[in-house]
Amino acid sequence: MVVRELDNHTFRLAVAQFDQAAERMNLDPNLRERLKLPERSLLVNVPVRMDDGAVKMFAGYRVQHDSSRGPSKGGIRYHPDANLGEVAALAMWMTWKCALAGLPYGGAKGGVQVNPKQLSRAELQRLTRRYAAAIFPLIGPDKDVPAPDVGTDPQVMAWMMDTYSMQVGYAVPGVVTGKPLSIGGSLGREEATGRGVVDVTLEAMRHLKLDIQTATVAVQGFGNVGANTARIMAETGARVVAVSDVSGGLYNAKGLAIPELLAWYRANGQTFSSCTMGDRITNEELLALDCTVLVPAALSEQITEANAAKISCRILAEGANGPTTLEADRILTDKGVFIIPDILANSGGVIVSYFEWVQDMQRFFWNSLDIRDRLHEIITAAFHRTLQFSRQRGVTMRMAALMSGIDKVAQAHLSRGLYP
Ligand code: NAD
- Region 199-212: mean pLDDT is 98
Q: Are residues 205 and 243 in the same domain?
A: yes
CA nearest ligand 1 atom 17, residue: 246
Could you tell me how far CA 12 lies from the centroid of its own chain? Answer: 18
Q: Are residues 211 and 265 in the same domain?
A: yes
Per-residue pLDDT of 126-175, as tens digits, reads: 999 999 999 999 999 999 999 999 999 999 999 999 999 999 999 999 99
Torsion of CA 289, 295, 299, 302, to 10 degrees: 40
Round to whole Å and give the CA distance between 352 and 190.
Answer: 9
Q: Residue 242: inside a domain, yes or no?
A: yes
Q: What are phi and psi of 145, to 5 degrees?
A: -120, 100
Residue 23 reports pLDDT greater than 90: yes
Q: Are residues 174 and 30 in the same domain?
A: yes
Per-residue pLDDT of 241-269, as tens digits, reads: 999 999 999 999 999 999 999 999 999 99
Q: Residue 277: inside a domain, yes or no?
A: yes
The CATH number linked to 313 is 3.40.50.720
Confidence at residue 2, expressed as pLDDT on a 0 to 100 scale = 62
More confident residue, 3 or 322: 322
**Eight-class DSSP state of 406:** H
Q: Is 179 a catalytic residue?
A: no
Q: Are residues 9 and 152 in the same domain?
A: yes
Q: Residue 273: inside a domain, yes or no?
A: yes
Q: Residue 56: inside a domain, yes or no?
A: yes
Q: Is there a contact between 172 and 163 (Cβ–Cβ < 8 Å)?
A: no
Q: Are residues 173 and 210 in the same domain?
A: no
Residues 6+ apart with CB under 8 A from 391: none
Q: Are residues 130 and 214 in the same domain?
A: no
Specify the ligand 1 atom closest to the Cα of 271.
Answer: 11
pTM (two decimals): 0.98
CA nearest ligand 1 atom 14, residue: 246
Q: pLDDT grade, residue 3 (50/70/90)?
A: confident
Q: Are residues 124 and 202 in the same domain?
A: no
Round to whole Å and give the CA distance between 354 and 360.
Answer: 10
How far are the Cα atoms of 171, 195, 242, 258, 358 from residue 252, in angstroms, in the given order? 48, 23, 7, 11, 42
* Category of 417 on φ-ψ map: left (φ > 0), alpha (ψ -120 to 50) or beta: left
- Region 180-197: mean pLDDT is 98
Give per-residue burial for 340-377: e unless 16+ CB within 10 Å, then b. Answer: bbbbbbbbbbbbbbbbbbebbeeeebbeeeebbebbbe
Which of 109, 143, 310, 335 is the catalytic position?
Answer: 109
Ligand 1 interacting residues, C-beta cut-off 6 A: 148-151, 193, 220-226, 244-246, 283, 297-299, 319-321, 346, 349
Q: Residue 17: inside a domain, yes or no?
A: yes
Q: What is the mean pLDDT of the chain?
A: 97
> From ligand 1's centre to the CA of 326, what distance in Å?
20
| Best residue among 98, 225, 294, 352 to mutate for probing ligand 1, ranked by most atoms within 8 Å of CB | 225
CA nearest ligand 1 atom 29, residue: 320
> From ligand 1's centre to the CA of 343, what distance in Å?
15
What is the total residue count of the chain?
Answer: 420
Q: Residue 263: inside a domain, yes or no?
A: yes
Q: Are residues 18 and 75 in the same domain?
A: yes
Q: Give residue 149's domain range.
A: 4-179
Q: Are residues 162 and 233 in the same domain?
A: no
The CATH number linked to 87 is 3.40.50.10860
Q: Residue 207: inside a domain, yes or no?
A: yes
